[in-house]
Amino acid sequence: MCGIMGYVGNRQAAGILIDGLRRLEYRGYDSTGIAVLHDGAIALERSKGKLAELERKVAGQDLRGTIGIGHTRWATHGKPSDENAHPHGSEHVVVVHNGIIENYMELRGKLIEAGFTFRSETDTETIPLLIEYHLRNRLSFEEAVLTTLSEIEGTFALVMISSAEPGKIIAAKNASPLIVGIGKNENFVASDIPALLSHTRDVAILEDGDVAVITQNSFKIMDFSGKTVPRKPTHITWSRVMAEKEGFKHFMLKEIHEQPRAIIDTLRGRLTEGNGHIVLDETEFTDADVANVERIVLVACGTSYHAALVAKFWIEGLARIPVEVDLASEFRYRRPCVHDRVLFVSISQSGETADTLAAIDEAKKLGAKIFSVCNVVGSSIPRKSDHVFYTHAGPEIGVASTKAFTTQLVALAILALYLAKRRNTLDRKEIRDHVHTLLGLPLVIEQTLKSSEDALRVTDRFFEAEHFLYLGRGSSYPIALEGALKLKEISYIHAEGYAGGEMKHGPIALIDEHMPVVVLASGGPTLSKMVSNLEEVRARGGNIIAVMTEGDERIQKLSTATISIPKVGDFIRPIVEVVPLQFLAYQIADKRGTDVDQPRNLAKSVTVE
């Protein structure tokens, strides 16, 4: 949460900072601000609201300076306002911060006693004031920052400049992401890769406990005690174009359409047609590792949690290994039965979700091996893991996860098949058939995307409804949950996902003509039971939107509206069924005029607990 951008070089910083913040806005958008340093003076501009507000404020101003820092905020301490917007400053220092300073009340008290005045309600403002305090005691900028780091507790990505030592950015990381971008005669620092792609693809990824001192032509990385630590630069393969809308109205729409390509990238090099060869290339499981797995615990948040729920069906069904699924935020606060014969699988698009990271720490402490499914290369979760499966979906900018979800599902399906093969729970033909099905998936998704037209027709009729119910059974039940989550997060319509069999146990009381019921009825062993659900909804005057296999007249007759998908088998059904639900949510939200890519109160990666 919160996006940070810093620049030092020979170009004017303000435009570069604003451009970087635009690409980080998905991380938070309650307020924004930039500070630039010129001729020994710091100029600061901040604004409540989205980046466009800040751009309006700075338009026509001569904000000169070839070094600066910027921030786009997701509020934790203090409401979104001009005063609480970052950067926060003192006489000689400005700071941007992502995270939470837990002991800020105590530090605030001490600083007030020492004669400092606070202008905001934020925890962050303690930092520039503490640094200022140490500068007054004749410490250098670097020494003042290191001393401050020894006094603060909590999570942070901090980026700072000082008029006392112009030409230098100092950045520090503890639990919130930060990346140094390495340019020619210029350097950058940012919360995430998309902010850097227009300038460089060479980066140094900071680890927890790192401090970077960045100038126009150099950067050094040390620990909080000031000792230099080596960090090898990494070359990023994502291109700038991948992080742009390319003519689509919203990133979400672009990302929905990108799914066939993204799935091809997830599959690339991992499956071989014909001989059923399966490789988890970033992952080396020894025979002993595979034999050792007694149970698998899948942990994630939000949409990634829904992927975990689907994976339970695959891993138990194909590899016959018992699976537990837990929300990361719940896992660490109970006493989980995890030990060294448990394979702990974490799933995360961003690789930075605080709850998931904390759950991994807990599982590691209990002796489990960590396998991660992640999209962002080099992010914190893969760095903490023993085994990593990168989905290679490319940057996902829309806050509502789409291609990240379907590629996670593909990765988890491959993991299930891999384990089935290594544990001999499927025969060769079965493995070959499943591999064949997965390799054909991009084409099936391509055909499914055409169902957008159907989804549009449905939207016209139902976009004003205030409540939706989603029903699914088996591995389509998590897809019902995902469909409901997509709708609520971007359209602000109340939506609930239920297992079809549970309808009679409560939700049926809600059914009337005002609450559309989205039913996943494209096939599977429980299709006849879903048909009973349709009958029950119809008998109570409810409106049914059915996701069905094309040409299924029985479902068509029972439904108010239908969205067709191609005929597929049970293995890939959940991956295919989610696509029309993504479209449905998108079309409804767009018709209601919400901010689809940046829905209210949300942020793309949740780096606070």
Are 2 and 97 in contact by the 8 Å Cβ rule? The answer is yes
DSSP for 46-74 reads: EEESSHHHHHHHHTT-----SEEEEEEE-
Per DSSP, 175 falls in state B
Interface with ligand M6R, residue 349, by CB under 6 A: yes
Give the integer Cα–Cα distance in Å for 453 and 296: 40
Are 127 and 152 in contact by the 8 Å Cβ rule? The answer is yes
Give the integer Cα–Cα distance in Å for 359 and 362: 5
Which CB, 76 or 401, lies closer to ligand M6R? 401
For residue 341, the minimal CB distance to ligand M6R (Å) is: 26
Residue 232 among the catalytic residues:
no
Interface with ligand M6R, residue 303, by CB under 6 A: yes
Q: 3-class DSSP state for residue 403?
A: helix
List 48, 168, 421, 604, catalytic entry: 604
For residue 585, the minimal CB distance to ligand M6R (Å) is: 10
Stretch that binds ligand M6R, among 32-40, 298-306, 472-480, 495-503 (CB under 6 A): 298-306
Element (H, E) at 138: none
Give the one residue of 5, 43, 158, 399 binding ligand M6R; rule: CB under 6 A: 399
User: Which residues are CB-neighbours of 326 under 8 A, at least 6 positions away?
Assistant: 297, 298, 299, 336, 359
Stretch that binds ligand M6R, among 345-353, 411-419, 435-443, 497-505 (CB under 6 A): 345-353
Which CB, 376 or 445, lies closer to ligand M6R? 376
Q: Which 475-534 positions form the footprint of ligand M6R (CB under 6 A)?
A: 489
Give the one residue of 353, 448, 451, 564 binding ligand M6R; rule: CB under 6 A: 353
For residue 348, the minimal CB distance to ligand M6R (Å) is: 3
Burial status of residue 555 (CB atoms within 10 A of its CB: 0-12, 13-18, 19 or more): buried
Residue 529 among the catalytic residues:
no
Which CB, 482 or 552, lies closer to ligand M6R? 482
Interface with ligand M6R, residue 606, by CB under 6 A: yes
User: Which residues are CB-neighbours of 65 under 8 A, at least 6 positions away?
Assistant: 12, 13, 14, 36, 37, 38, 43
Are 202 and 211 in contact by the 8 Å Cβ rule? The answer is no
Stretch that binds ligand M6R, among 34-42, 398-406, 420-428, 506-514 (CB under 6 A): 398-406
Stretch that binds ligand M6R, among 239-247, 264-272, 302-310, 387-395 (CB under 6 A): 302-310
Give the integer Cα–Cα distance in Å for 324 and 317: 13
Interface with ligand M6R, residue 373, by CB under 6 A: no
Give the integer Cα–Cα distance in Å for 71 and 195: 12
Amino acid identity, position 226: G
Stretch that binds ligand M6R, among 301-309, 333-341, 516-524, 561-569 (CB under 6 A): 301-309
Interface with ligand M6R, residue 391, by CB under 6 A: no
Which CB, 301 or 449, lies closer to ligand M6R? 301
Interface with ligand M6R, residue 122, by CB under 6 A: no
Q: Which residues have a catalytic role annotated? A: 2, 604
What is the contact surface with ligand M6R in residues (CB under 6 A)? 301-304, 348-350, 353, 356, 399-401, 489, 605-606
